[in-house]
A = this chain, B = another copy of it.
Amino acid sequence: MSNTTSTHVQLIARPEGWPTPADFRIATVEYGELQPGQIRVQNEFVSVDPYMRGRMNDVRSYVAPYALGETIGGGAIGRVVASEADAIPVGSVVLHQHGWSDLVQGEATTFRVVPELPGVPLSLYLGTLGMTGLTGYVGLTAIAGMKPGDTVFISGAAGAVGTAAGQIAKLLGAGRVIGSAGSAEKVRLLTEKYGYDAAFNYKDAPVREQLAELAPDGVDVFFDNVGGDHLEAALDVMNDGGRIALCGAITSYNTTEKVAGPDNLANIITRGLSVKGFTLAAYLHLAPEFNGHMTGWFSEGRIAYDETIVDGIESTVDAFLDMMRGANTGKMLVRVGGSTAR
């Protein structure tokens, strides 16, 4: 019989602005015996994502706020260590949304089995091969209607979504892909590893100036993970009929004041722009289409990725905060499978 003691990270106070460690607690959860239909999963990786910040607030949004005193929900992947469900035997690898813990048990229906494939680290199912990659794909296709030849600008391009989105754009035929990131090293990776045609460090000079210089023929599609000055700069240079996919606005997630929007929104009118916000929940039906593309690209060696991995479930809050500050390149993950065998 496997271990039933689990370490969870729980929200205990609603952050004002930047979260602090005091907003969370490390809790020990003791599970009871497995009931029929349940499985027990030893997590290998848990995901920290920008959208989680929104769920820490008690405001109307597209998903319910996290309850105080409960475990932070979110993507994780692990291996079944005990099973009372015929459909998911011990040893299976499963994806789930039970979030920040090293061990979890629950109804088998809340877990999804994924194949273990040679050369595919399990962590990728939380990133490029999973929701993160799908987010890039959906934003470019269903939301922005990217067409071959389009000039595409992606903000926060060295993050989990950005590294995937830039490559997907090129593979789908984008003409020129421009990215922004927050360090010289990330900018280098964008052009050398991720196929971006041009990239800039938004800390070097105003985004407006740098983007205008790199996009002399304008931008057709803007995939925004950042908001604020990036959205404003993009509105400056959007071509007539351009399309903006709003995926994230990380600049605003930890501010306590509301931040005024771009000063050039009227360009949306005069240039006939489409601006569409999205969260992935409404577009999960595109997963098979995405998987079809991505499986092929990945097996052909055409997909690069980075992961920024910290170890130990107790490091999850720090990992989350580091990710919000841009310390990561590619997907930020917490590895918990390396802990003691149970």
B269 touches A249 (CB 8 A): yes
Report the separation of the CA atoms of residues A263 and B268 in the bound assembly, to the nearest whole angstrom: 17
Nearest to A251 among chain B residues (CB) is B266
Using a CB-CB cutoff of 8 Å, which residues 254-279 of chain A contact chain B?
A: 258-279
Judged by a CB distance under 8 angstroms, whether A221 is at the interface is no
- Verify if A74 is at the interface (C-beta below 8 Å from B): no
A269 touching B265 by the CB < 8 A rule? no
Partner of A272, one of B62, B263, B268: B62
Instruction: List the B residue with the shortest CB-CB distance to A252.
Output: B266
Question: Whose C-beta in chain B lies nearest to the C-beta of A63?
Answer: B270
In the complex with contacts A231-B265, A260-B260, A270-B240 CB distance below 8 A: no
Q: Does B271 lie within 8 Å of A277, measured CB to CB?
A: yes
* Chain A 23-65 interface 0/1 with B at a Cβ cutoff of 8 Å (1 = within): 0000000000000000000000000000000100000011000
Note all chain B residues with C-beta closer than 8 A to A62: 240, 270-272
Given contacts A260-B261, A266-B252, contact A273 B276 (CB under 8 A): yes
B266 touches A272 (CB 8 A): no
- A259-B263 contact given A275-B275, A277-B273, CB 8 Å threshold: yes
| Distance from A211 Cβ to chain B, minimum over Cβ atoms (Å) | 16
Q: Is the CB of B277 within 8 A of A268?
A: yes
Distance between A52 CB and nearest chain B CB, rounded to angstroms: 13
**How many residues of chain A get a CB closer than 8 Å to chain B's CBs?**
34
Known interface pairs A260-B261, A260-B263, A261-B262; A270-B231 also in contact (CB < 8 Å): no
B61 and A270 within 8 A (CB): yes
Bound CA span A273–B259, Å: 19
Q: Which residues of B contact A258 (CB under 8 A)?
A: 263-264
Q: Within 8 Å of chain B (Cβ to Cβ): is A248?
A: yes
List 25 A-B residue pairs with CB atoms under 8 Å apart, sorted by A's residue number: A62-B240, A62-B271, A62-B272, A227-B265, A231-B265, A246-B268, A246-B269, A247-B269, A248-B269, A249-B269, A260-B260, A260-B262, A261-B262, A261-B263, A261-B265, A262-B265, A268-B275, A268-B276, A269-B279, A270-B277, A272-B282, A273-B276, A273-B277, A274-B275, A274-B276
Partner of A278 from the list B252, B261, B264, B269 (CB cut-off 8 Å) is B269
Determine how close the nearest CB of chain B comes to the CB of A234; give it in whole angstroms: 13
A265 to B276, CA, bound (A): 11
A263, B249: Cα distance in complex, Å: 12
- Specify which of A231, A262, A265, A279 lies most central, judged by the most chain B CB atoms within 10 Å of its CB: A265
User: Are A266 and B249 interface neighbours, CB within 8 A?
Assistant: yes
A276 cross-chain contacts in B, Cβ below 8 A: 268, 272-275
Residues of B close to A252: CB separation below 8 A: 266
* A 234-249 binary contact with B (CB < 8 Å = 1; else 0): 0000001000001111
Residues of B within 8 A of A249 (CB): 265-266, 269
A326 CB to closest chain B CB (Å) equals 18
